[in-house]
Amino acid sequence: MKREFIKGNDAVAKAALLAGCTQYYGYPITPSSEIVHTCALLFPQVGATFLQAESEVAAINMVYGAAGAGKRVMTASSSPGISLKQEGVSYIAAAELPAVIIDVQRAGPGLGNIWPEQADYNQVVKGGGHGNYKCPVVAPNSPQEMCDLTIHAFELADKYLTPVYVLTDAYTGQVMEGVEFPSEVKEVKKHDWAVYADKESKGNLICSIQMDVESMERINIKLQDKYAEIEENEVMYNEYMMDDAEIVLVAYGITSRITRSAVDALRAKGVKAGLFRPITVFPYPKKQIEALTVGDTAKIFVAIEMSNGQMVDDVRLVVNGRKPVEFYGRMGGAIPTQDELVEVITGFAKKHIS
């Protein structure tokens, strides 16, 4: 393992190469632009393809083409750019092609600003484009996880033949920390479904159009079966101080790091708080959160987000009225502080715990 002090965004680019990615197509947008810059520098050095497209729409369709040609391919953008890619993502999901998409979230709506937010949750986790599709979504909270989960995203994409998102934010993408990189490049096998412009693959056809109603429905059913398999087998999460937690704080991404510090501060004051962190936000760790509602230990769940409250809907669905669910969020690029969370959570504790 090689350890390097590096930005989260730069770690993504290096991790992609180590994952066997040979194609990058994208369009720069702050705060994801370091990914484009680093891919432009590194990919040609190892014989991989880098191309700055003329737009986000062009980039995602290039991803479609490269994936159909059997290549490991990635693109990256930030919130408004991800919006522009949604039609292409729907096409890739329908054609059952593997691809990795990095979303370094910024504040919105509209052009917003370049500060971190978590307001792309609904767009990315719930589908975003048209039709009955979903994408696996991993949510790193550090540069190390930007590396590890990018590599994992490529493995998921190939395993399930689907686009996979790495959902991160401006803070995690810009912060510099020590990252340990793998020492070997992943070996990518040839796919029997891909179009390689050779005799063996000339009969392969990749498309998403089905004019026959029953054929289109069969494809939709196949996709739903695949998503059910992903939900059963690919959940990732982390718990901190949860053994006796009366207050279950649910947070992901960069917010989870601040929340973890708040847990330590609350514990020092005698408040039994714990952190439950979803690492995959699709599949969402439903069974694991539901298990926390059983018994008398957990008294209240609190979702903490940098949004208007998008993940909290998933928490409420899982808790299903068994326990109170509260929400605290900041928007517009504002990042909650440890002291701020301690004050808010202490208030929720007084409200719900006698």
**What CATH number does domain 237-352 carry, 3.40.630.30, 3.20.20.370, 3.40.50.920, 3.30.200.20?**
3.40.50.920
pLDDT of res. 304: 98
pLDDT of res. 127: 86
- H helical segments located in the chain: 8-18, 33-42, 56-68, 79-95, 121-125, 143-160, 170-174, 213-233, 253-268, 286-292, 312-319, 338-352
pLDDT of res. 25: 98
Q: Which helix (H) or strand (E) holds 277?
A: strand 273-278
Q: How far is CA 255 from CA 111, 171, 191, 218, 240, in A?
A: 22, 10, 39, 40, 14
Question: Alpha-carbon distance 38 to 204, whole Å?
Answer: 34
Greatest Cα pair distance, the chain, in angstroms, is 73
pTM across the whole model: 0.97
CB-based contact 306:330 (threshold 8 Å): yes
pLDDT of res. 2: 87
What percent of the chain stands above pLDDT 70? 99
Q: How far is CA 7 from CA 42, 179, 254, in A?
A: 15, 9, 14
pLDDT of res. 227: 98
Q: Judge whether 2-233 and 237-352 match in fold.
A: yes
Q: Where are the domains of the chain?
A: 2-233, 237-352
Question: Alpha-carbon distance 168 to 104, whole Å?
Answer: 5
pLDDT of res. 348: 97
Intervals of the chain under pLDDT 70: 1, 354
Domain 2-233 top-level CATH class:
alpha beta
